[in-house]
Structure 1
């Protein structure tokens, strides 16, 4: 019965969040931007939502999203080619739980982990 999920993450500045996800990660805006305190973006089958939280302290933000992919090596290389910083503890590698993963932090320190099952 469940068909999808759209995580809602905090953002301090809509323009900076939009720029990071669209220009650096290749997402596109979804829906309308008529809401100054809300942003929706999508890429392929993944959609993320953001709500304005100007008082957010990024060092105290624990927002996290796990994104599954079927071509993690390509995504990782594209991000490296675009000079997108990879989390220092989240470089591409095989994890003990059977996933090949890497992570990055957005401008508000929401942790994005990309993973693919090891065949």
Structure 2
């Protein structure tokens, strides 16, 4: 009796579908309130006082408390994070953040040579959130610009 040779289907490579920034903060409640007010996020859930999960449109954002309770969660990490979020309607979002006084002093709204219009925001712990909109020339093909 012969053993049948297994047939293998062509391998489909794994796909990466999304990235979720996780910013270290000193106070999750304060960070959640900031992202709700400044950027219009909604809190989806929280785990006690140590974690907040927020969403706006297709963007999810996590904040976690760096309180020294475990290795890798040292207090000094709060405020050491950053992320970039692609938006549509950068002008209106900039005005909102400017009026709230949360625009990074060295990152006002500006056109960048790599094809984006962008600005930066600091959360209460000084994590940097870069907000950018692709220029019309690059918005059709994200591969043409390094965000």
Do these two structures clear the TM 0.5 threshold for a shared fold by scoring above it? yes
Q: Which runs of 4+ in 1 moved over 6 A?
A: none
1:34 CA drift (Å): 3.6
Q: Which has the larger radius of gyration?
A: 2
- Alignment-derived partner of residue 129 in structure 2: 112
Preserved CA contact (<8 Å) 1:65 1:112: yes
- Alignment-derived partner of residue 103 in structure 2: 86
- Alignment-derived partner of residue 101 in structure 1: 118
Gaps of 5+ in 2: 1-14, 68-74, 137-147
- Mapping 1:1-119, distance limit 5 Å: 1-30=15-44, 32-54=45-67, 55-56=75-76, 61-81=79-99, 83-119=100-136
**Which structure exhibits the higher relative contact order, with contacts defined as CA atoms closer than 8 Å and separated by 6 or more residues?**
1
CA distance in 2, matches of 1:6, 1:57: 18
Gaps of 5+ in 1: none
CA distance in 1, matches of 2:93, 2:38: 12
| RMSD, matched Cα | 1.6
* Deviations 1:58-113 (CA, angstroms, capped at 9, x unpaired): 5xx431111001211121122234x2321111100101211100001101111000
CA distance in 2, matches of 1:4, 1:29: 19
